[in-house]
Structure 1
Amino acid sequence: MLRATLFFVFLLGQLFAQSLPTKWIFVDDFAGEQPYFSALSSSSQNLDLALMKWTQAAQRDRYWLANARIDTISDSLNVYLSTGPQFSWENLELDSLSERMISRWKIEHPTKNPSVWLNELLRYYENTGYPFASIEILDFNLQGGAMSGRAQVQPGPYISIDSIALKGYSSVRRSLLRFELGIHSGMEYNERTISRLSQRIDRIPFLGFARQPQVLFSKEKSVLFLYIQEEKNNRFNGIAGLNSLQDGGVTVTGEVDLLLQNSLNKGERLEVQWRRPGVEMQMLDVAFDFPFPFDLPFGVTGALNFLRQDSSFLNIDFLGGLRFWASKDARLRLLYESKQSVILSEESFVTGAANFSARFVKLGLEYNNSNHFLQPTKGVRFFGHVGRGVRNSFEESENQWRALGSLEIFQPIWGRFGAYSRSLSATLLTDNYLPNELYRIGGVNSLRGVNEQSLFASSYFIQSAELRYALDRFSYIQLLGDFGVIENRSGFQTGLQRNYAVGAGMTFRTELGLLQLIYAVGKQGSNSFDFQASTLHIGYTSTF
């Protein structure tokens, strides 16, 4: 950390070059004085800030007596940097002013491990507008490697981000920087927020950094430089599947997903998805999101879904609402949903299906602190909503509840090994269930080892687990297992069933995109695994 901060001092000297040449001298307790940097230039004002930052970094490494001394010789500056010995505090008292400040912030002052506590105190300062805070030793008694004494906190100048300078892709919306990255002009300096900008921008599909952000400090102002570049953000997915038939044959299933993002430089999102899980069913979904209208922390979202089950029925589902940015990681949703189902043939009535319409009002929550939008290796993603509505069918009205949730956890284990866990659940609560209003599950995005969208459920819970071995940043091989509990109360397929699946797969990057292969075999209840009914899922993701 100390060498890195000296490089920070070097950068300040380069950025604010003035007329006085500066000679940097690193004082080593064992070797005496030796030159560390030479022929650097810096204004004396910015030099003060740089030396505060250097002192803070040295104290983080337990060089509590670190100090800097400036001598002016003729027309040049000599800067002496001394770390002193490295030691831990055994007993520490703070001056009365520092104690009052800490008491006001309600920071507990422990009697054990004062060195760790002082580092936490410095972190608190640098995350609340004081990036140059340091500890000044008033008096001390050093015996062995431990020290007792008194100290006081030197907060240094209060720093706020006066402006944000965009380099490269300058069309990015300021509201996106504020609500997605957590930065805006006038904010107090926060080291944690700035150091995590690279991780946060990896969650935004259409943005990236050409180089790391930098902060330019001076006593007059501070400027945050963002070197943003527009990434390939549009995506095309194609998935093909081979499903087994009862007569021993196979049928080809498919899915096409087109995603357009930020085409208008507004952060908007448009997705069109077509799916054919089997010979009897087709689905078409259209969804859009428009964030931050009038630069306010909310967005408009909508979706239109069509599902046709051979010649039996047609379902049309509209979903619209608002997304509110509760924090950088969390979103709240207020949604309205309208469902309509039309029977296409009289034979469908035999199965219990019926014409119906339904209206729902829903509340939802999204949470995402993962480290990448496409292939995370660490973090949590959650989505869920619950809604109450009324279904009209057979000239009767019936109250209903619907709830759905998804939880994904990405966890590094050791080296290239990582774990992935996914929990999916949904439920429909009503007095009378219709087959054409049930959830459809099965396949690569829910329960593997069974045919796509082949299971009807009024309620379900699916737990998936994977062990992954990374080949590179976007490629890995995996071992997987799924377990599902499925309930159907429609009378069409009554009862509770348990499903299991095991398999293996591989995702690897090509010049054109990501290719995914997953082979899985499943079973129901106490039956044996049926390898003749195994499934092969082939997925492809291309960005452009």
Structure 2
Amino acid sequence: MCKYTYFLILILCFFSSELNAQNLSLKITGSNEKETTIITNFGYKQNHFDYNSIINEANSFHEKIIKTGYIESKRLLIKKNNDSSFQIKFQLKNKYETIEINYDSTKIKKSLISSVYKESSSNYFVVPFNNIEETLEHINIKIANNGFPFTKVKLSEIKIKDKKTLVAQLIIEKEENKRSLDKIVIKGYEKFPKSYLRRYLKIKPNKVFNIETIKNKMIALNNLRFAEQTKESEVLFTKDSTTLYIYLQKSQSNTFDGFLGFSTNEETNKLDFNGYIDLELNNNLNYGETFNLLYKSDESEQKNFEAILNLPYLFSTPIGTEISLKILKRDSSFTSVNQKASVFYQLNSKNRVFLGIESTESSNLLENKNNSPITDYKSNLYNLKYIFENRWVSNSLFQIKNRVKLELGLGKRKTDLYNEGQEKITIDAFHSFQLNLKNSFFTRINGALLNSDSYFENELFRFGGINSIRGFTENSVLASRYIILNTEYRYKLSNSIYAHTILDFSNFENKLSKTKENLYGFGLGFGIKTKAGLLKFNFANGKTETQSFQFSNSKIHLSLVSIF
């Protein structure tokens, strides 16, 4: 029993000493009442664990008041009032508000000083005292980014001019010769396209070395889908050369997207199946090229084939090219062949501008062509297209944060009887609002407009289905103009599973049939990241303005996006 009592007393004594050690108080005063008020306004930590913490706080406080202009301040005494209370007294003296910094205009260009501090003369500039450190740092960065990375900037010959102003001389120590970037070495992915290094990242040898520019350009790699950094870039400085090492690895960027959909046929009351295949191959030849192949077949006996080839930086120039072929066959009614060819310029890592031509030829396959809304025609358009794409830095479920694709076309359509001018506008834009780590809100606007004096059924836009307004049969809606708003509230259950709502709206017009209508789609869905890819499940019901809700109109869409 005595042993336990003795042990308990030791524990109580230990915790008692700990509690006392954590309750030391500090009060800092000035040499007079005015200085004490100034010190109180500065603020400082009053409660401390031990005596060393009090001393550290006193030193930190002294450094803080010196940086604000009290360079003549002194710490006078440390007084212990009792076992848990300490008092430290400071003498602030005079506060200097500004410093006049002189510089040698024959060695330091005025443009350099003006770029940092606009209010300057030919041989001096005045800086608020509390901005001295920041100003010198900016001057150092400016000089370092101009090819002198080992520059030192300091003030010397500091003197008192008057009660509010100090005077000092600006001294800059730097190398005699300006450094340039002599060599760029890629580690890990040695076959990284050299044209992307020169044109996409815009990093070129024999240019003035600028570490800040290089850091900013490395950020652009986040928007590159086929390569990623394995670690931060490094720079090797020798006496005569500067070498940049970039550490990359080739990413899995090929995608395969497919889905299977089924619904009840209103005429036969049997299940109809439809689906599509969307294959995208990226950088398989280590050139940065992209090849897309799309094949879609739906229950309305409509078949769609599309192939797109994108070749960036032709012959190491900043110009790329994109060609595409699209074939549409609608049962035994018509076929349309669309061909596009364009050149594009990559403005930066996120923006591209395209200029090209588009040719479409459509043929009526019906035996009886009299009074048919389907007509043989040929059209030629000149297109201007803009694409903005911003990718997530690290998101296993969603690769792209926001995207804008806007295309304008102007040209003519020809038939056997007459020619007429046409304009076409298409837009596809989406953005994901990240509310917090688990919640996000996705919005997408997709629309198109065909402006013409007359319209044929085989040239109208077709939409509906999982990639447009959900709850409707694939490509079941024909329109000369339409706009679609897709929204999803997404909740991330884990790093590989998310659930979402479906709320879609569309307004469209068909000038051929002289109809205008609103469409609505709503439902639920989820996505699961598996070893095979991202599996998506959507259950949606669509209705028109004049149609009442019917559960039998619901559509189930399954798709699988694999990355390999």
Aligned to 2:191, the other structure's residue is in SS state: coil
Shift of 1:353: 1.2
Within the candidate set 120, 139, 154, 1:136 is matched to: 154
1:277 aligned partner, one-letter code? D
- CA, structure 1 residues 457+164, in 2 after alignment: closer, same or farther (shift >3 Å)? same
Shift of 1:170: 1.0
Contact 2:329-2:335 at 8 Å conserved across structures = yes
2:527 aligned partner, one-letter code? T
- CA, structure 1 residues 306+155, in 2 after alignment: closer, same or farther (shift >3 Å)? farther
Aligned to 2:429: 407
Deviation string 1:450-507 (CA, Å, 9 cap, x unpaired) is 221111111111222223233556653323322221111122xx22212222233222
- CA, structure 1 residues 474+433, in 2 after alignment: closer, same or farther (shift >3 Å)? farther
Aligned to 2:516: 496
Of 186-195 and 114-123, deviating more is 114-123
Contact 1:251-1:279 at 8 Å conserved across structures = no
Structure 2 stretches lacking a partner, 5+ long: 1-52, 57-66, 70-95, 120-126
Higher relative contact order (CA 8 A, sep 6+): 1
RMSD: 3.7
Contact 1:514-1:540 at 8 Å conserved across structures = yes
Contact 1:378-1:412 at 8 Å conserved across structures = no
Contact 2:113-2:139 at 8 Å conserved across structures = no
- CA, structure 1 residues 326+249, in 2 after alignment: closer, same or farther (shift >3 Å)? same
1:100 aligned partner, one-letter code? K
1:330 equivalent in alignment to 2:351: yes
Aligned to 2:391, the other structure's residue is in SS state: coil
Contact 2:68-2:130 at 8 Å conserved across structures = no
1:455 aligned partner, one-letter code? V
CA distance in 1, matches of 2:117, 2:429: 34
1:100 equivalent in alignment to 2:110: yes
Deviation string 1:157-213 (CA, Å, 9 cap, x unpaired) is 555432111112211221112222332223444445544566533433322233332
Contact 1:376-1:410 at 8 Å conserved across structures = no
- CA, structure 1 residues 422+111, in 2 after alignment: closer, same or farther (shift >3 Å)? farther
CA distance in 2, matches of 1:107, 1:351: 74
Within the candidate set 345, 363, 366, 2:384 is matched to: 363
Of 334-343 and 503-512, deviating more is 503-512
1:252 equivalent in alignment to 2:273: yes
- CA, structure 1 residues 502+472, in 2 after alignment: closer, same or farther (shift >3 Å)? same
CA distance in 2, matches of 1:376, 1:417: 13
Contact 1:130-1:155 at 8 Å conserved across structures = no
1:227-306 alignment to 2 at 5 Å?
227-247=247-267, 248-306=269-327
1:323 aligned partner, one-letter code? F
2:329 aligned partner, one-letter code? R
Deviation string 1:356-389 (CA, Å, 9 cap, x unpaired) is 1111111111222333599557753221121111
1:500-539 alignment to 2 at 5 Å?
500-525=520-545, 527-539=547-559
Within the candidate set 405, 410, 425, 1:383 is matched to: 405
Contact 1:377-1:418 at 8 Å conserved across structures = no
Of 95-104 and 531-540, deviating more is 95-104
2:426 aligned partner, one-letter code? L
Aligned to 1:458: 480
Shift of 1:440: 1.0
Contact 2:116-2:139 at 8 Å conserved across structures = no
Contact 1:422-1:463 at 8 Å conserved across structures = yes
Shift of 1:346: 3.3
Structure 1 stretches lacking a partner, 5+ long: 1-27, 32-61, 65-88
Contact 2:341-2:358 at 8 Å conserved across structures = yes
Aligned to 1:11: none
Shift of 1:320: 0.9
CA distance in 2, matches of 1:256, 1:426: 23
